[in-house]
Structure 1
Amino acid sequence: MTFPPIADYAFLSDCEVSTLIAPDGSVEWLCLPRPDAPSVFGALLDRSAGNFRFGPTNTMVPQQRRYLPGTMVLETTWHTPTGWMKVEDLLVLGPLDATRRDGYRRSPGDAIAQRTLLRIATCLDGRVELGVSCLPLFDYGRNPGTWKFDGAGYNRATVTEDDVTLTLSGSIALGVLGSRCMGRTTLETGDSAFVALSWNGDAPVELDEALGQLQWTERYWRDWMSMARLPDHRFRPYLERSALALKGLSYAPTGAIMAAATTSLPETPGGERNWDYRYTWIRDTGFMLRALHGLGFDWEAFDYFAFILDAVKSGESDAPWALQIMYGIGGERELTEHTLDHLSGYRDSRPVRTGNGAYDQHQHDVWGMLLDSVEEHLRGGGQIAPAVWEGLAGLVDTAIARSSEPDQGIWEMRGEPQHFVASKVMCWVAADRGALIAQARGDVARAQRWRSAADKIKAEVLDRGVDDRGSFVQHYDTTDLDASLLLLPLMGFLPPDDERVRTTVLAIANELTQDGLVLRYRVATSDDGLSGEEGTFTICSFWLVSALEMIGEFDAASALFQKLLSFAGPMLLYAEEIDVSTGQHLGNFPQAFTHLALIDAAGRLIEAERVRGEFAGG
């Protein structure tokens, strides 16, 4: 049984869990009770690790798949030998109920997850045979459960394993074969049927109730999208889907936003570059806040920033502000990496990993990313308490003190530490943003001290981080390029019209690309401690769009952006990388950082069109 292309999966979320649905109507990824918990359906990483299909019994290839506009409700249309049908899939969101808040922090007017995956089928014409097959295998496929019928009939069954209770119910009579719960029925024109899988919650028992949950969930997503500030522009569908993806990657109980919904989708099919991205990276923070504020989602930005601050200051009593590069979605600090050797991996890509061994790496970009996000938070109308400011001031001092040391770099290289230029620049960002914030707060002594430190760091980078042709380099002991250097103009290290910036951006565009898309670095000449190759990094390609626009190369930026849009998955979602030889997406999916870079690049191009008089929309 072959794996679908990564980009062909549909992504659903209720902001507490998320799921991926393959084109054949099979749920192949669902982790419970949190998105970073072990999988219940894990066919994404091993075809024998559990799945949940709902669709026509005699047709496996759909006619069309789409999200209902402005929602995270999936509609799949099927043409069978005897008729037409559609299936609507959703993770149910219900009205906010104070009796069920469970102490969760939520934005005003936010919905609450009903902990139910709802699947509704309707025969549009003719006659169709509908089947359901639900095979949960708990703990990443290791533990089958035992189904038990619940109630007087055969329309409801439960299974409990690993403290998770699943209830499958609906309008279809069910039967049990081993660890699989199954059923089938025939629908005539206008008939509907449904199944609902719930976990530790209540599932609908009647079709009217199921249809009501569909309507509420649609309304919630559309109401949420109505708050967005989106231009009436040809890029709007991509911005809208990116916004929904970011919201879907959020974890409402804490305000965290995951880097991606999956673990171990490979950067190289069959290779070892397989990582768990179901965590929150400090690296994403400034970009995340800019995107959320820019799109009009201020409450999400405030919740996310509050989570970041809570996580950062939750260290040991003697070092409460000990900054890590990433945290669990509950603020966890220890993310010990393990391998799941019983799983074959997506397209035989091993090992499958949980946890992330990079969590305790020294990456000096984190101080700058955090202070940049603080400044963004303040510009977005937020505030910080005096005690928080004192903790942040300590992080600025740490960044300055550590700026002369080597680190693992922004790409979490597992080779020897180096003096990465991007890391030095982000230490400069920490000092620069710290000085700006201190000045605004009237903390003049710190502002002067940090400005002096920022100038010193910049002078060193300009002295040691530029090669003979005037281009910035990956680290002090090489002439290699690195896509992280595209952050220099984006972070304001030098103005875009500085010749060294222009030389670097054009060198990356000409020398660090494959068929026009950007590589992070040349694997053959960079000591990243890993074997194998990787695809082009989509976030870096979007960074190049932004950088090209900033240095005045609008036509090149626009052409590259259009090319990147042509690689979007059928659901307008992006993974981490693109194999330009096949067009296939690689890496974890959907990738928040990629969508953040898309939002930034689109915004810059739209504004440039406005200045050029080519776009007059709202």
Structure 2
Amino acid sequence: MTFPPIADYAFLSDCEVSTLIAPDGAVEWLCLPRPDAPSVFGALLDRAAGSFRFAPANTAVPQQRRYLPGTMALETTWHTATGWLTVTDVLVLGPVDELRRGESRRSPGDAMSAHTLLRIATCFDGRVELDLSCFPLFDYGRVQGQWAYDGPGFTRTTVTAADITLTLNSSIPLGLMGARSYGRQTLAAGESAFAALSWGDQITADLDEALSQLRFTESFWRGWISMASFPDHRYRPYIERSALALKGLSYAPTGAIMAAATTSLPETPGGQRNWDYRFTWIRDTAFMLRALHSLGLDWEAFEYFAFIIDAVSEADPAIPWSLQIMYGIGGERDLTEHTLDHLSGYRDSRPVRTGNGAFDQHQHDVWGMLLDAVEEHLRGGGQVAPGIWARLCMLVDTAIERSGEPDQGIWEMRGAPQHFVASKVMCWVAVDRGIRIARGRGDSDRADRWQAAADRLKTDICTRGVDSRGVFTQHYDTTELDASLLLLPLMGLLPPDDPRVRATVLAIAEELTEQGLVLRYRVDRTEDGLSGEEGTFSICTFWLVSALAEIGEVDAASALFEKMLSFAGPLLLYAEEIEASTGQHLGNFPQAFTHLALIDAAHRLIAAERSTRRRDP
């Protein structure tokens, strides 16, 4: 069986678990009891690793797929030889207030009392034969369960394996065949059927209850999206879907937001650049807070910041590297990488990995990203307790002390450490933001001491990190470019109109792109410790949009942004990368930092366009 394109998957979430549904109506990715746990349906990474299809028999290609407006409810419309059918899929949620009553942050070991993947089919013309096939394989496809009937009749079955109990209840009579529960029924126009797969203590009893749960879930998402503030602009649909994707990637018990919902979707099909992204990166924090606050989603921003501060609080200030670059969504620190050699991988892309071997790398950008996030939190109306401020001061001092040492860089290079310019810039950001916060707290002595260090670091970067043509380079002692340098006009080391900043942005746009889309760096010229190739990085292309807008190249920024929007998936979702020659999405999906970069680029571009119109009406 062939794999669908990555961008064609639909993403559903109840803010505690998530799932991906293929265009043919099969659930191909669901991990329980958490999104970073082993899969129950894993066909995304091996066609024999379990799936759950609820769709017309003998019809694979839908006529249309969409999210119901303002929700994460997926509606798929099918045209068969005998009639028309819609299937609506949701991970059930209640009214929006239930996640905003102060009860959402719980111990990561606690699960919600009930989870349900609800699927409702309705025939609205002719007659359609509906097929149900639920084939879970637990522990990434290694453990097979045995279904059994539960209660009178033949419409409820259960299976237990790997300490997880699934209950499948349906209006369709179910048959059992080993690890598979299945059913088939013909629906006439106006008739509906449902299938509800639950784990927990709540079972969907009948069709009326299923329809009620669907309405509640739609109400949740529409209630949540109504709390956000979106620009009245043609970009709004993309910004709104990005906001929903970020919310869907959140983990309500702790406030964490995953980098992506998947593991090991390849940067090159058939290649080895396959990583587990079901964790939270400190690097994403400032960008995440900026995106959430810009949309008025302050509650989500505060929850996420609280998770990050919890992680910082557990770090040992006497050990500089005890602040990790990433954490598990429950705050876990040990993210040891393993390979699942029994899985063939998406389109034969091996190895399939769990955990992430970069979790204990030394990356100097982490201090700057964190301090920038703290300042963003304060601008958004938050506060920082005295004890946390004391720890942050130690981290600023660490950034000063370690800024002269090489590191693995923002892209988590697995080669030899280098003096990466972006890492130096983020060390400067740590000191600069520390100075601002210190002055705001009346700590002028500390701010003055840090200012001297910031000035020395800035001089070093501008002396050793610039080549003969006045362009900032990937690291000291090279002339290679790096897309992380697009952060220069966004982070404030130099003003956007500085000739070196402008030259760097334009050089990247000209020399580090494929068909206008931005590469992280030239793989064939960079010792990153990895084999194979990769696509263009969507976050970097959106960074270029932002950088072009900041340096006054508004027309170029607008054209590039429109081009990126044309590459959006059918459901307006983005993976990590895009193969420029085909438009194919690559890497894990949906990717949080792509969507938050889209939000930031849209706001910067809209502001730049309005400023231009005011100057030149």
CA separation of 1:127/1:239 partners in 2, compared to 1, >3 Å: closer, same or farther? same
Instruction: Name the residue aligned to 2:16.
Output: 16
TM value normalised by structure 2: 0.97
Quote the Cα distance in structure 2 between the aligned partners of 1:404 and 1:370: 19
Instruction: Tell me the SS of whatever aligns to 1:75.
Output: strand
Alignment of 1:581-596 (within 5 A): 581-596=581-596
Q: Partners of 2:467 and 2:20 in 1: how far apart?
A: 45
Q: Is the 8 A contact 2:282 2:326 kept in 1?
A: yes
Q: Which moved more, 1:310-319 or 1:221-230?
A: 310-319
Maintained 8 Å contact 1:157/1:169: yes
CA distance in 1: counterparts of 2:64 and 2:521, whole angstroms: 38
Aligned equivalent of 1:312: 312
Q: Is 1:543 paired with 2:543?
A: yes
Q: Is the 8 A contact 2:166 2:198 kept in 1?
A: yes
Cα deviation 1:500-532 (Å, max 9, x = unaligned): 000000000000000110000000110000011
SS at match of 2:581: coil
- Pairing of 1:464-543 with structure 2 (within 5 A): 464-543=464-543
Equivalences, count: 610
Give a deviation string over 1:2-27, Cα, whole Å, max 9, x none. Answer: 00000000000000000000000000
Deviations 1:539-563 (A, max 9, x none): 0000000001111111111000000
Return the letter of the residue paired with 2:597: A
Give how far 1:319 is off: 5.2
Whole-Å separation in 2 of the counterparts to 1:400 and 1:203: 56
Change in 2 beyond 3 A, CA 1:188/1:99? same
Aligned residue number for residue 258 of structure 1:
258
Structure 2: 5+ residue stretches without partners: 107-111
Which is worse superposed, 451-460 or 1-10? 451-460
Which residue in 1 is equivalent to 2:611?
611
Asked if residue 384 in structure 1 is aligned to residue 384 in structure 2, the reply is yes
State how far apart, in whole Å, the 2-side matches of 1:80 and 1:96 are. 37
Sort the Cα spacing of 1:101 and 1:162 in 2 relative to 1 into closer, same or farther, 3 A. farther
Residue 333 of structure 1 corresponds to 333
Map of 1:431 onto structure 2: 431
Identify unmatched segments of 5+ residues in structure 1.
Answer: 107-111
Paired with 2:23 and 2:333, the residues of 1 have a C-alpha distance of: 36
2:614, 2:561 → 1: CA distance?
Answer: 16
Whether contact under 8 Å (2:113, 2:200) holds in the other structure is: no
2:109 aligned residue: none
Question: Amino acid of the residue matched to residue 47 of structure 1?
Answer: R
- Equivalent in the alignment of 1:404: 404
- 1:78 is aligned to 78
Q: 1:480 to 1:113 in 2, by over 3 A?
A: farther
CA contact (8 A) 1:14 1:113 kept: no
Tell me the CA shift for residue 201 of structure 1: 3.0
1:14-413 pair list within 5 angstroms: 14-95=14-95, 104-105=104-105, 114-315=114-315, 322-413=322-413
| Percent identity (aligned) | 76
Q: What is the CA-CA distance between 1:385 and the residue it aligns to?
A: 0.6
Q: In 1, Cα distance between the equivalents of 2:427 and 2:194?
A: 55
1:163 to partner: Cα distance: 1.1
Give the CA deviation at 1:105. Answer: 2.0
Q: Distance in 2 between matches of 1:445 and 1:49?
A: 61
SS at match of 1:202: coil
The 8 Å contact of residues 287 and 596 in structure 1, kept in 2 or not, is answered as: yes
What do residues 580-613 of structure 1 show as CA deviations (whole Å, max 9, x unaligned)? 1111000000000001110011001111222233
Counterpart in the other structure of 1:447: 447
- Please state whether the residue corresponding to 2:286 is helix, strand or coil: helix
- Kept in 1, the 8 Å contact 2:400–2:431? The answer is yes
CA distance in 2, matches of 1:99, 1:13: 13
Q: CA deviation at 1:81?
A: 0.5
Q: 1:322 deviation in Å?
A: 2.5
- The separation in 2 between residues aligned to 1:517 and 1:105, in whole angstroms, is 39
How big is each residue's C-alpha offset from its partner over 1:157-198, in whole Å with a ceiling of 9 and x where there is no partner? 111111111000010110111211000111111101000001
Q: How far apart are the structure 1 equivalents of 2:318 and 2:203? A: 47
- C-alpha contact (below 8 Å) 2:550/2:608 kept by paired residues: no
Q: Secondary structure of the equivalent of 1:602?
A: helix
The equivalences for 1:557-568 within 5 A come to: 557-568=557-568
Measured against aligned partners, the alpha-carbon deviations of 1:562-583 in whole angstroms (never above 9, x if no partner) come to 0000000000000000001111
CA distance in 1, matches of 2:361, 2:211: 49
